[in-house]
Amino acid sequence: MSGFNFSLFLTFVFVICSTVQVKAETEIFCIFMQRCILPCSFQGSSDVFIHWFQTKTESLRVHLYYNNMDQLGLQNQNFKNRTSLFQDQLSKGNASLLLTGVKVEDQNIYRCYCSTISGNKETFLQLIVDAPVSDIRIHQDGNRITCSSEGIYPQPELTWSTEPPSNTTLQNRTTVHQTEEKLYDISSSLTGPDGSDRIYSCTIRTRRNQRRAILRQKSVIVSSRQTSLSCSASNGSASKLLWRFNHSQVIVSRSSQSRATVTEEWKLHVKSVSESGGLSLQDLSPQQGGIYICELSNEEETLVTSTFLKVEDRGGTKRHPGVSMVVVAAAAVILCVVLIRRSRNQKGQNTFLIDSKLNFFNQLCIMIFMTQIFLYLTGLQLYEEATR
Ligand SMILES: *[C@@H]1O[C@H](CO)[C@@H](O)[C@H](O)[C@H]1NC(C)=O
Ligand SMILES: *[C@@H]1O[C@H](CO)[C@@H](O)[C@H](O)[C@H]1NC(C)=O
Ligand SMILES: *[C@@H]1O[C@H](CO)[C@@H](O)[C@H](O)[C@H]1NC(C)=O
Ligand SMILES: *[C@@H]1O[C@H](CO)[C@@H](O)[C@H](O)[C@H]1NC(C)=O
Ligand SMILES: *[C@@H]1O[C@H](CO)[C@@H](O)[C@H](O)[C@H]1NC(C)=O
Ligand SMILES: *[C@@H]1O[C@H](CO)[C@@H](O)[C@H](O)[C@H]1NC(C)=O
């Protein structure tokens, strides 16, 4: 009895194994929206019948070839205009399929069936689709830091870390949203403690790759007409540089091959861009005050440095208060002279009256002069304090 059971078991194992063997698939990794080659080969013969199927749930016709030509009348709609064989390779027994514009839905098992007079051959492939993490963004709004990325497959993971490490868990909230194309958009917000000089870094990881975004904040820089802002230099492998103003306006962009391009609005203010990404600014006015963001990125990392610049209005439009003081003093002198002349001209009519009038004007003039000197000195002091 038990012997029978054992042989049954062995048969069972054999059936399972042989099934698995038939199904043994090669994994083919394809990138979303790119082209992908599904390899398949047969024993060379001029007259071949090739049938590519998608097999997982139901059998879908992907590509059919016989009588030395493609037969696409019954091709599944999903694959319209997206498949082709390498015609020049067929005589060498190469029945590989080129699939373009790979979609997430293409992730499936594929069967390549080839038939010639010398025999039949089946090949199974597992197509795996990846949409790697490409652009990763990090930005700060108040004490809230947000990190996000879009169009990822399969579902990514997001982690935060700080430098120096935080001894408390950070309040963070991550949301994941799947688009119609089955891709994942991810976004996470973290509420950072106020006034801390930490470096925040966010990593988004998926099967294919991972990318890290690092946010560093510089303290406020106060400048006059010109200044230099540094972009924290990474290990020199940065391939892309981007300077933005107040989050939206682009100032300078540079990719690995090209030279830095300064946008039209900033041509007057950008003096130079250094090798390490530093920005040298000139002819600044308070209008150029705001947040300057530098983004340096390479294959794995995006380094964001945010600097708040305050531009003080100094020199240019403010006139030295002494100038207006001199004008007022000169006017007062002329007024005094005119008044004294007039009173002298009236001399002879009433000496007593003229004398007292003269006296009065003299005193008035002395008072005006004293006030002038006082105002001038005070003004000068205020001006010097303001420009210090
Ligand atoms: C396939 O390509 C042809 C010509 O390039 C175009 O007219 C047709 O609309 C395309 N079909 C699909 C399903 O994209
Ligand atoms: C079949 O042809 C394609 C396209 O030229 C090529 O990439 C592939 O390596 C070939 N496969 C074999 C087995 O020669
Ligand atoms: C965290 O560190 C700060 C300063 O380093 C300290 O004051 C605080 O007590 C620490 N908190 C905990 C929970 O260890
Ligand atoms: C983010 O929040 C989760 C719980 O919501 C917590 O487990 C995790 O440690 C937090 N991450 C960081 C970096 O503090
Ligand atoms: C720079 O190099 C150091 C040591 O080689 C490494 O720890 C660090 O992560 C690198 N930083 C960047 C931004 O590549
Ligand atoms: C830039 O941002 C700063 C601070 O948020 C603001 O005061 C300034 O008006 C902004 N400048 C421009 C040109 O938008």
Which of 314, 340, 356 is the last residue in one of the domains?
314
Is the same domain home to 201 and 231? no
235 lines ligand 5 (CB under 6 A): yes
Tell me the CA–centroid distance for residue 35 and ligand 1, in Å.
17
Report whether pLDDT(388) > 70: no
Does residue 256 or residue 343 have the better pLDDT?
256
Same domain, 41 and 107: yes
Q: What is the mean pLDDT of residues 42-68?
A: 90
Regarding whether 20 and 109 lie in a shared domain, the answer is yes
Give residue 166 CA to ligand 3 midpoint distance, Å. 9
Mean pLDDT calculated for residue range 117-126? 93
- pLDDT for the residue numbered 171: 84
Same domain, 8 and 120: yes
Q: Which residue has the higher pLDDT, 376 or 177?
A: 177
The pairs formed by 189-193 with CB atoms below 8 angstroms and a separation of 24 or more are 189/144, 189/145, 189/146, 189/147, 190/144, 190/145, 190/146, 190/147, 190/160, 191/143, 191/144, 191/145, 192/140, 192/143, 192/144, 192/145, 193/143, 193/166
Contacts 24+ apart (CB under 8 A), 377-386: 379/321, 379/322, 379/325, 380/321, 380/322, 382/321, 383/320, 383/321, 386/318
Task: Give the per-residue pLDDT at 323.
Answer: 54
CATH code for the domain of 174: 2.60.40.10
Cα(338) to centroid(ligand 5), Å? 81
Average pLDDT of span 48-59: 90
Q: How confident is the model at residue 365, as a pLDDT?
A: 58
Query: SS3 string of 221-268?
Result: EEECCCEEECCCCCCCCCCEEEEEECCCEEEEEEECCCCCEECHHHCC
**Dihedrals phi, psi of 135, to nearest 5 degrees:** -85, 135
pLDDT at 380 (0 to 100): 56
More reliable by pLDDT, 25 or 176: 176
Which pLDDT tens digit goes with each residue over 173-205?
999 999 999 999 999 999 876 556 788 999 999
How high is the pLDDT of residue 322?
Answer: 53
Q: What's the whole-number average pLDDT of the chain?
A: 81
DSSP state of 38: E
| Domains: count for the chain | 4
Q: Are residues 165 and 203 in the same domain?
A: yes
Asked if residue 292 and residue 341 are part of one domain, the reply reads: no
Distances from the Cα of 58 to the Cα of 61, 109, 357, 368, angstroms: 10, 11, 118, 104
* Ligand closest in space to the Cα of 77: 1
More confident residue, 25 or 96: 96
Is pLDDT of 217 > 50? Answer: yes
Verify that 306 and 335 share a domain, yes or no. no
Distance 82 CA to ligand 1 centre (A): 9
Answer whether residue 361 shows pLDDT above 70. no
pLDDT: which is higher, 371 or 298: 298
The alpha carbon of 187 and the centre of ligand 4 are apart by a number of angstroms equal to 14
Residue 9 scores a pLDDT above 50: no
For ligand 1, say whether the CB of 100 is within 6 Å of any of its atoms: no
CA distances from 169 to 157, 161, 187, 212, 263 (A): 18, 10, 18, 20, 42
Separation between Cα atoms, residue 121 and residue 90, nearest integer Å = 15
Provide the β-strand partners of residue 280.
228, 272
For 333, phi then psi, to 5°, come to -60, -45
Nearest atom of ligand 5 to the alpha carbon of 237: 14
Same domain? For 352 and 367 the reply is yes
CA distance 35 to 38: 10
Predicted confidence at residue 143, as pLDDT, reads 81
pLDDT at residue number 19: 38
Say yes or no: 287 and 236 in one domain.
yes
What ligand 4 atom has the least distance to the C-alpha of 168? 14
**Residue 44: what pLDDT?**
77
pLDDT tens digits for range 32-41: 999 999 999 9
Of the spans 104-118, 290-304, 371-385, which averages the highest pLDDT?
104-118
Q: Mean pLDDT, to the nearest integer, of 8-31?
A: 58
* Structure-block tokens of residue 24: 């043994």
* Ranges 257-261, 339-343, 352-356: which has the least confidence: 352-356
Last residue of a domain, one of 264, 287, 314: 314
The range of the structural domain enclosing residue 256 comes to 217-314
Asked whether residue 147 falls in the same domain as residue 221, the answer is no
pLDDT for 259-316, tens place per residue?
A: 889 999 999 999 999 888 889 999 998 888 999 999 988 888 888 988 888 888 765 4
CB of 301 closer than 6 A to ligand 5?
A: yes
Indicate whether 61 and 110 sit together in one domain: yes
Condensed to tens digits (0 to 9), the pLDDT of residues 87-105 reads 999 999 999 999 999 999 9
Q: What's the CA dihedral at 263, 264, 270, 273 to 10 degrees?
A: 30
Domain boundary (89, 104, 130) is at 130
Question: ω into residue 164 within 30 of 0, thus cis?
Answer: yes
Q: Tokens representing 94?
A: 């190469």
Rg, Å, the chain Cα set: 40
Residues 153 and 263 occupy one common structural domain? no
